[in-house]
Amino acid sequence: MNPITNSPSIQDTRPWRPGALVSGTLALHAGAAAAIVAQPAALPWAAGGVIASHLLLTAAGLWPRSTWLGPNLLRLPPSAQGCVALSFDDGPNPEVTPRVLDLLDQHRMQATFFCIGARAARHPALVREIARRGHAVENHSLDHRHHFSLFGPARQMHDIAAAQRVLTELTGAAPRFFRAPAGLRNPFLEPVLCRLGLHLASWTRRGFDTAAAGDAGRVAARLLTGLAERDILLMHDGDPGHDRAGQPLVLAALPRVLRAIESAGLRCVTLRDTVRDAMLRATR
Query: For strand 111-115 and strand 267-268, is the pairing parallel, antiparallel, or unpaired?
Result: unpaired
Provide the residue type at 93 as one letter.
N
Are the beta carbons of 104 and 112 closer than 8 angstroms? no
Q: Strands (DSSP E) along 198-243, which ranges? A: 199-200, 205-206, 232-236
The whole-number pLDDT of residue 38 equals 75
Q: Where are the domains of the chain?
A: 18-62, 83-283
Are the beta carbons of 126 and 237 closer than 8 angstroms? no
Active site residue 143: no
Are the beta carbons of 97 and 130 closer than 8 angstroms? yes
Coil, helix or strand at residue 75: strand
Active site residue 89: yes
The whole-number pLDDT of residue 59 equals 76
The whole-number pLDDT of residue 33 equals 66
Coil, helix or strand at residue 114: strand
The whole-number pLDDT of residue 211 equals 82
pTM comes to 0.87
DSSP state of 4: T
Fold of 83-283: TIM Barrel (3.20.20)
| Residue-level pLDDT, tens digit, the chain, 284 residues | 333 333 333 446 788 888 777 666 666 556 656 667 777 776 765 566 657 666 666 777 788 999 989 999 999 999 999 999 999 999 999 999 999 999 999 999 999 999 999 999 999 999 999 999 999 999 999 999 999 999 999 999 999 999 999 999 999 999 999 999 999 999 999 999 999 999 999 999 999 999 877 899 999 999 999 999 999 999 999 999 999 889 999 999 999 999 999 999 999 999 999 876 554 454 34
Which residue among the candidates 89, 209, 237, 243 is catalytic per the annotation? 89
- Cα(73)–Cα(141) distance, integer angstroms: 17
Which residue among the candidates 236, 237, 242, 243 is catalytic per the annotation? 236
Locate all alpha helices (DSSP H) within the chain, ordered by sequence.
20-38, 43-62, 97-106, 117-122, 124-132, 153-171, 189-196, 216-224, 249-263, 271-283
Q: What is the number of other CB atoms lying within 10 angstroms of the CB of residue 47?
A: 12
- Compute φ and ψ for 75, nearest 5 degrees: -145, 160
